């Protein structure tokens, strides 16, 4: 009888150990990361312009902010104190990409007249990446005169595990404002954007952007985004908040 009890106890211990090992392996595989990007990782294949403000190249920003999700056990990515924007030829004419982390970036596709033809957003949580591709047809103007406002619509096709979605964006030109960059006064155009989307997720986003007029160079940006996505495990909440401030008007490469 004692032998049977001992055998059962050993079996129980073995089962618990096996479960702990399996749980540990699962947590290892799906562990979350937030990896800062080094400048040389961004500049490797960049096309450089003439070195004027807004030309092709790499721009540096002081950064504060984060993104969070309540998926699985929940996670938070704090953004590093320094992030990068690249302005490069491509797409409809110009691609501007903000690289916050290796696991987080946005890229906007601008036409020669400054209108936006679409954008892509990449998020990675627990080792699983998700790329959203949005198309704006017709392209949406992104700059105007103070007091002007307009609305545009962008769509995301269904594919993989995501449903088709629509994003309605409202633009308001607040006015010209002078900011200081690298000790120099700079006239910027302040544009406020609010958007709401429906489909695979419901979101409410707001962004104030100060742009160097006539270029795609962001001088300052303050963003606050919320979304709720439907999934097989239920609703997943997401929140992102950040502020960017340009360090120098001139590209470093």
Q: For 162, which DSSP code?
A: B
| Residue 93 included in any domain | yes
| Residue 251 included in any domain | no
Higher pLDDT, 2 or 54: 54
Looking at the DSSP bridge assignments, the partners of residue 252 are: none
Q: Do both 181 and 203 map to the same domain?
A: yes
Least confident of 19-33, 75-89, 162-176: 19-33
Nearest to 167 by CA among 142, 130, 204, 138: 204
Q: Which whole-number Å values give the CA distances from 149 to 158, 169, 190, 204, in the listed order?
A: 30, 11, 12, 18
Per-residue confidence band for 231, with pLDDT thresholds at 50, 70 and 90 = low
| Residue 198 included in any domain | yes
Q: Is the pLDDT of residue 66 over 50?
A: yes
Contact 245, 61 (CB under 8 A): yes
Measure the CA–CA gap between 202 and 226, rounded to whole angstroms.
Answer: 8
What average pLDDT score do residues 236-240 get?
93
pLDDT at residue 40, rounded to an integer: 83
Q: Do both 26 and 48 map to the same domain?
A: no
Q: Is the pLDDT of residue 13 over 60?
A: no
Give the rounded distance of the alpha carbon of 97 from its chain centre: 9
pLDDT at residue 62, rounded to an integer: 98
Q: Do both 147 and 166 map to the same domain?
A: yes
Per-residue confidence band for 199, with pLDDT thresholds at 50, 70 and 90 = confident
Q: For 200, which DSSP code?
A: S
Among left, alpha and beta (phi > 0; psi -120 to 50; other), residue 72 is left
Domains of the chain: total: 2
Q: Do both 174 and 141 map to the same domain?
A: yes
The radius of gyration of the chain from alpha carbons, rounded to an integer in Å, stands at: 23
pLDDT at residue 203, rounded to an integer: 81
What average pLDDT score do residues 182-194 get?
97
What average pLDDT score do residues 101-114 get?
97
Measure the CA–CA gap between 118 and 172, rounded to whole angstroms.
Answer: 19
78-98 tens-digit pLDDT: 999 999 999 999 999 999 999
Q: Do both 2 and 53 map to the same domain?
A: no
Q: Work out the mean pLDDT of the chain and round it to a whole number.
A: 86
Q: Which domain holds residue 159?
A: 35-246
Measure the CA–CA gap between 5 and 219, rounded to whole angstroms.
Answer: 72
Q: What percentage of residues in the chain have a pLDDT greater than 70?
A: 83
- In sequence order, which ranges of the chain are alpha helices (DSSP H)? 2-29, 39-43
Q: Do both 84 and 24 map to the same domain?
A: no
Residues in the chain: 253
Q: Do both 121 and 134 map to the same domain?
A: yes
Q: Do both 72 and 15 map to the same domain?
A: no
| Residue 252 included in any domain | no
Q: Do both 122 and 146 map to the same domain?
A: yes
Q: How would you classify the pairing of strands 184-198 and 93-101?
A: unpaired
Measure the CA–CA gap between 196 and 177, rounded to whole angstroms.
Answer: 27
Look up residue 152 and give its two tokens: 């545009």
Q: Do both 73 and 10 map to the same domain?
A: no
Q: Do both 115 and 232 map to the same domain?
A: yes
Q: How would you classify the pairing of strands 116-125 and 149-156?
A: unpaired
pLDDT at residue 72, rounded to an integer: 84
């Amino acid at each position: 009888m004692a032998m049977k009890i001992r055998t059962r106890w050993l079996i129980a211990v073995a089962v618990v150990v096996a479960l702990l090992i399996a749980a540990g392996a699962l947590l290892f595989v799906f562990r979350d990361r937030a990896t800062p990007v080094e400048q040389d990782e961004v500049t490797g294949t960049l096309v450089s312009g003439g070195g004027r403000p807004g030309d092709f190249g790499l721009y540096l920003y002081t950064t504060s902010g984060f993104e969070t999700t309540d998926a699985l056990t929940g996670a938070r990515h704090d953004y590093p104190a320094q992030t990068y924007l690249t302005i490069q030829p491509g797409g409809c004419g110009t691609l501007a990409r903000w690289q916050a982390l290796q696991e987080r970036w946005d890229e906007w596709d601008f036409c020669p007249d400054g209108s936006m033809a679409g954008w892509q957003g990449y998020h990675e949580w627990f080792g699983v990446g998700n790329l959203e591709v949005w198309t704006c047809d017709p392209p949406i103007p992104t700059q105007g005169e103070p007091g002007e406002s307009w609305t545009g619509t962008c769509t995301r096709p269904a594919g993989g595990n995501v449903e088709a979605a629509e994003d309605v964006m409202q633009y308001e030109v607040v006015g010209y404002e002078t900011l200081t960059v690298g000790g120099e006064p700079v006239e910027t155009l302040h544009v406020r954007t609010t958007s709401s989307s429906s489909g695979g997720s419901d979101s409410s986003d707001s962004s104030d952007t100060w742009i160097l007029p006539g270029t795609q160079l962001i001088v300052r940006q303050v963003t606050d985004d919320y979304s709720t996505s439907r999934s097989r495990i239920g609703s997943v909440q997401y929140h992102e908040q950040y502020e960017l401030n340009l360090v120098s008007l001139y590209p470093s490469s």
